[in-house]
Amino acid sequence: MDAETLAHQLEELQLLKCSLLPGELLTFLEDAKLWSQALEPDADAAEAISALQQHLTQKASTSGASNTHPSNASSPASSAVCFRIGLENTDRVYFEVALPRSYPAHSASVAVRGDTLGRADQLRWQATLAAAREEVAVGGTEYPIFQLISDHLLPLLHAELHAAADSPAPGEVPAISSPTPVRYHALLTSHHLVSPTKRRNMQAWAGALSLAGFAKVGYPGVIYCEGMQDNVEDFVANVKAMQWLALRVRFVEPLGDTCDAQPGRRWVEFERVGDVVEEMRRLGRESYVVEMGIGSAGNTTSK
């Protein structure tokens, strides 16, 4: 393994380590002491690279190709470093990453893990991971794993933890009777909404939470949803957990007694601001967007 490639991997891991927020964990699964020392702020880069090169060369010569790493993604002999990304105090969902010796010339292996993941959840997370990796690849970056983890995977883990915290335990019986469900709605705006991953995630969340609403894609981004209070609040929390430019939560509030659920409504996407105004007018809620400067009462064709 050449020194230049190893130096690039160390630089990317240092970026990732420095970007972690409180409660976010990067845990090396092999040779933890060696890699942790190499990433110390006062570590000598040349000495760290030399020590890692020597160790990896020795491991490659002594490890059999049949040995399998716990992530089942690659063997120790073929991987430079294997680590886990997750959150403190939960093993509900986490990711195991293996960087091949030739990374970034060859792609890293990323696997979804979780102590309580069922088959449906596993498939959902695998699809989300694949979509996120595709978006990173299309965008092009010098540090693809750093961008994948910091821009996509960690925000999704936070959203999952928040949703799990709000869900009752199986078989849990409330101590008091539940209050009458209240229908809520929420409106959010952003500088833009282009990301296919964000759009797919919102559509999936809306379906899982039984919400109706829409997303206006392009510039600006507009997001509107309605449903039961807890579900709307969960949806808004999930959206906020993703990375945005100038995201604003305009309101999250009760719909009112005169606004009943309309059968057959679902999550849709619009491309024009005029379509947003027209949809809100059809629902009798045009003022919610017009008063905030989104479109105008007399113009339904603006983009």
Give the whole-angstrom CA distance, residue 83 versus residue 20.
14
Q: Give the count of alpha carbons within 13 A of 205, CB side only.
A: 32
Residue 47: CB atoms within 10 Å: 11
Give the whole-angstrom CA distance, residue 153 versus residue 130.
11
State the pTM of this model. Answer: 0.53
Q: Is 225 helix (H, G, I), strand (E, B) or coil?
A: strand
- Residues 181, 229 contacting (CB under 8 angstroms): yes
Residue 107: partners with Cβ closer than 8 Å, 6 or more residues away: 100, 144
What pLDDT shows up at residue 59? 82
What pLDDT shows up at residue 12? 94
Listed in sequence order, the DSSP H helices in 24-79 are 32-38, 45-62
Residue 235: partners with Cβ closer than 8 Å, 6 or more residues away: 186, 202, 205, 206, 209, 211, 225, 227
For 19, counting Cβ atoms within 10 Å of its Cβ (0-12 exposed, 13-18 middle, 19+ buried), the class is middle
List Cα–Cα distances, 145 to 48, 58, 110, 263, in angstroms: 21, 26, 9, 43
- Residues 165, 214 contacting (CB under 8 angstroms): no
What pLDDT shows up at residue 266? 87
Indicate the residue type of 4: E
What pLDDT shows up at residue 74? 45
What are the chain's domains? 3-162 (no CATH), 183-290 (3.30.70.100)
Residue 114: partners with Cβ closer than 8 Å, 6 or more residues away: 91, 92, 93, 94, 121, 122, 125
Listed in sequence order, the DSSP H helices in the chain are 3-19, 32-38, 45-62, 119-139, 144-148, 154-166, 196-208, 229-241, 273-282, 286-290
What pLDDT shows up at residue 285? 87
What pLDDT shows up at residue 149? 93
Digits of tens for pLDDT over the chain (303 positions)? Answer: 788 999 999 999 999 998 888 889 999 998 999 999 999 988 888 998 999 988 888 887 776 544 444 444 444 446 789 999 999 988 889 999 999 999 999 999 999 999 888 888 888 899 999 999 998 998 788 999 999 998 889 988 888 887 776 666 556 655 555 567 789 999 999 889 999 989 999 999 998 899 999 999 998 899 999 999 999 999 999 998 888 888 888 889 998 765 555 666 789 999 999 999 999 998 888 888 887 777 654 444 444
What pLDDT shows up at residue 111? 95
What pLDDT shows up at residue 65? 44
Give the whole-angstrom CA distance, residue 96 versus residue 61.
24
What pLDDT shows up at residue 295? 66
Residue 85: partners with Cβ closer than 8 Å, 6 or more residues away: 24, 25, 26, 94, 95, 96, 97, 149, 153, 154, 157
Give the whole-angstrom CA distance, residue 248 versus residue 170.
35
